[in-house]
Chain A
Amino acid sequence: MRDFEYCRPQSLKEAVTVLAEKGKGAYPLAGGTDILIELKRRRLPASCLVDIKAIPELRGIEREGDALRIGALTTHSELLGSSLIQETVPVIAHAARQMAFPEIRNRGTIGGNICNAYPAADLVPPLIALGSSVLLASASGQREVGVAEFVLGSRQIAILPGEVLVAVKVPVPVSNAACAYARASTRKTGGIAATSAAAYLSADGGVCRQARIVLGAIEAKPRFVAEAAGYLEGTSISEDVAKAAAKMSVSGLSPIVDPRLSVQYRSYMTELMVRQAVLEAWAEVNR
């Protein structure tokens, strides 16, 4: 590990000031479950870590109108333990539960999961499928960006120098809509996703009105599969429909390399995951 500076601002204002001051080599430090590994592998040119854990503005889960505001520092354990999330967007709790082990879930944060922009990040596909956005703050003000636009590729995000992710805004699905998430891994517990899929569906009179399918882990960047979603819209979803949509989802993929599994197997499993997510979301919508 190379030498770096460390500071721990007590407010959001202080944090963005420090980040602006320190410039390019300054990185926010949340749970540290990703960034410390990057530092140890000498892959990150960090000269200063700005520990944001003491900042109260980054905490808390609240309902704001028809959306949830989830503070950036919310840990995965908090996500899966929150009754508010359980009642409004259970898919987020479900995705958080798939991740790693209790030790990591107790430290890792939603903000870190998004900003890390790891292709296999579990929260990202369902957040995108739900139409979520991130709230960013800097010394010069605040802005809101859709998660889909924010995540640019593997370890690349549309963050500007000096910005901090403050919270995630998640629209709460209306009563006839639901979102499901399915992922495949090489092991039963604690494995990183080899491929994953989130499906958001809304229905009207037994027919799918709106569909959004997002693939994770398989490509460098979460992928919207518009064709398959379009195919679902206007149909009454059956096993066969889901199967056909799943097949469409994997045509033209350019999978990233995963040393553990072949491209063929991961594409095949992606299909299964889409099928599973679509059928689960549909069952939920029709409950």
Chain B
Amino acid sequence: MIDAREKVTGKLEYGTDVVLPGMLHGKVLRSPLPHARILNIDVSKALRLLGVRTVVTGADAPAMPYTVAGQVLYDEHLLAREKVRYIGDEVAAVAATDPDVAEEAVSLIEVEYEPLPAVFDPEEAMQEGAPLVHEAHGSNIANYMNFSRGDVEAAFARADAIYEGRYVTNLQHHGYIEPHSAVAEWDSSGRLTLYIPMQAPTLARMTYASALGISPERIRVVQCHIGGAFGGKLEYKLHPLCALVALKAGRPVKMVNTRREEFTASLPRMPMVMYIKVAGLADGTIIGKSLRVVADNGAYNNYGPGIMLSALLRHDNLYRIPNLHAEGILLYTNKVATGPFRGFGNPQGIFAFESALDMLAEKLGVDPVGLRLKNASQKDDLTSHGWKLSSCGLSECIRSAAGAVNWTGKRGAHGTGRKRRGVGIACCLHVSGNRSFLPFFDGSSAYIRINQEGKAKIFTSETDLGQGSRTTFAQIAAEEIGLNVEDIAVALVDTDISPHGMGTWGDRATTLGGNAIRAAAIDARRQLNEIAAADLEANPKDIVAENGRLYVAGAPDRSITIAEAAKIFSYKQAGAILTGQGSYVPDDIVSVIDPKTKYGNISVAYPYAVQAVEVEVDTQTGEIEILNLAAAHDLGRVINPSAARGQVEGAVAQGIGYGLTEEMKVENGKVRNASFKRYDVLRAPDMPKMTIEFVESNDPNGPFGAKGLAEPALNPTATAIANAVHDAIGVRLHELPLTPERVLVALRKKTEV
């Protein structure tokens, strides 16, 4: 890892470490009510407090609503106008000389509310007469989707077995250690600089320009090192709000979320209620599936439609299923808005689908592993949704994971004592970049500058969230240029300098960003070769590069260093620096998905993950212990083995949390466990024994064959556990997380039957 030293010595500076001269500190006043009309806001007491510089309210914020990049439902304002829609909604903000004074000032703002009836359950929000979260929208349905392939009703009619079930998933928090933060500064020309830990600075600039009602050109986003993001650090209201406060204060302002704010007002994982039906033939062929999703958007839309879409169809592409139907209803409720989170809807859909597959297998009397292998998609398939699988190691992953937990030896052998054992498996496929967001713009671009000392610096807009992508990028460039990794640095994103790019989400960084960096490296290398060839009186084609040296093939003595070549380049052009430029535009971009039917190839390459677990269930306490977890991942090609393992281990921890312990408990709109003390993320000693296997399918579209990894590694975990619990105690759990209490209730029901 190129930043390991700074990290382990605590020297790396994160967003909260940014300090500017004259900087003030801001705090947000948030709504204490889930739904209410604002009758009056009195800021006079707050303004009288010594040290308070300014207080802003909805009246100071732009009247035009905004939304996040590529979305069309403009439903947000920087500060509430007329109404608050959830406990945590931003009502006012303060800037003061220090954070404690700002906090004190916030407590002195007096707001008069008229409480309104609220709705918290998405299925209730759908009912006639439910309170409207956004009156102007006319309904609580923020988005509706309905599409089919083949003829699902005919498939159900001729099936040998059908399974139907209702599945419910939980509100999970990202649990990144670093809270959201922002430092905003306006210069005398009215230009804004934002220092923010942000996954996608380019999107931030677009979105915040519209939130602030200014042109994107007036915003410079400087990315800070990111202390964990997991999808939660895309656009976030605190950033432009901080800019608004700084504008009114006339001074730079810093704002940092408290942990409580993180747990009440960030963008956690979308809960869903899913009605699934799957049909199969006696020989184990899956012939049809329908899925109806009722998704809980929370109070604002954010990336809701995309998340719901991925829950609806992504997992279908795992298997050759010709007949499919999907219906999705996205609902506003008076709860915290939900947003992108590692998996982006996929873990939810997989929970319904891969649980249902096990139940179907049981009905058909076939082995769940056998069923999956029989139907698994293969390389070069064009799936029912029009996805082109340019590589596919799914079957190999299934065999590997099942083998690693001794599937055939352990399946069905649960014992009879107080503690029962079982094994379970679940699969997923994911994307490497998702082009359905900004269809007019995808891919990635990069520059690489090589200075006269032979040191290179990469400029990209794909951020490193802590997963180590800067190291991966340096490795890719090193390979093409012939430099050592230690001689390559990767700049943080600065929208004034870095190429325009979409940022890190949807597993795009390594595949799309890596391809662009590779292209830039090839361009730099071409220029180096020309200089070396001229200097060494050889043909550019014959120049070989290695360990920072360029030499003539077959004659290693005829060489110059890359530093010398870069110096020659620079001196010949009055100091200009040798710069390689590259971009990667996914081909067949014309097939972007159809907005109505959702048909079309959304990514250049699809990674696969299969996880199998062995659990032990204590039938007395209901506790589930994971004895062994096997993760098999087709990531195309491993570029950095330790970073790749790190991704899988971290994702599995988060996936076990999703499956067993993590849930934001919301009662009447209030998060009741808004701290790490009461929100149970896994800790190192909680981790089970784990084996990780990488399957390298070498995708033709990925840099050196590489595809995404970070998101898929979480997707199947919870479901594999649920399937193992079913094997152990014979009960199917329909709701995440699988708490001891739910296990006991299900066991009791089973004995009553």
Contacts and interface: CB of A to CB of B under 8 A. Distances in A.
B665 A259 contact: yes
B672 A184 contact: no
A184 B621 contact: yes
Given A189-B686, A190-B683, A191-B680, A2 B104 contact: yes
B683 A189 contact: yes
- Main SS class of interface, A: loop
A188 B621 CA distance: 13
A265 B741 contact: yes
B621 A259 contact: no
Contacts of A262: 741
Contacts of B683: 101, 187, 189-190
Contacts of B739: 261
A1 interface: yes
A190 B675 CA distance: 14
A192 B677 contact: yes
A260 B678 contact: yes
Nearest to A257: B672
Interface in B229-261: none
A148 B30 CA distance: 41
Interface residues of B, number: 23
B740 interface: yes
Interface string A1-16: 1110000000000000
A261 B677 CA distance: 14
Interface in A10-53: 42
B300 to A, nearest CB: 24
Given A3-B100, A187-B686, A260 B673 contact: yes
Contacts of A187: 661, 680, 682-683, 686
A42 B107 contact: yes
A191 B677 CA distance: 7
B741 A259 contact: no
A261 B665 CA distance: 10
Contact of B103 (A1, A260, A265): A1
Contacts of A188: 685-686
B685 A1 contact: no
A188 B656 CA distance: 13
B667 interface: yes
Interface in B654-690: 661, 665, 667, 672-673, 677-678, 680, 682-683, 685-686
A207 B620 CA distance: 28
B744 interface: yes
B685 A265 contact: no
A190 to B, nearest CB: 6
Contact of B665 (A3, A260, A264): A260
Contacts of A265: 622, 740-741, 744
Interface string B716-753: 00000000000000000000000111001000000000
B402 to A, nearest CB: 27
A259 B680 contact: no
A134 B564 CA distance: 78
A272 interface: yes
B740 to A, nearest CB: 7
A245 interface: no
Q: Which 3 A-B pairs have the closest CB atoms?
A: A259-B672, A265-B741, A189-B685
Given A1-B103, A42-B103, 11 more contacts: A2-B100, A184-B621, A186-B661, A187-B661, A187-B682, A189-B683, A189-B685, A260-B680, A261-B741, A265-B740, A272-B620
16 contacts: A42-B103, A42-B107, A186-B661, A187-B680, A187-B682, A189-B685, A189-B686, A190-B683, A191-B680, A259-B667, A260-B678, A261-B739, A262-B741, A265-B622, A265-B741, A265-B744
Interface of B: 100, 103-104, 107, 620-622, 661, 665, 667, 672-673, 677-678, 680, 682-683, 685-686, 739-741, 744
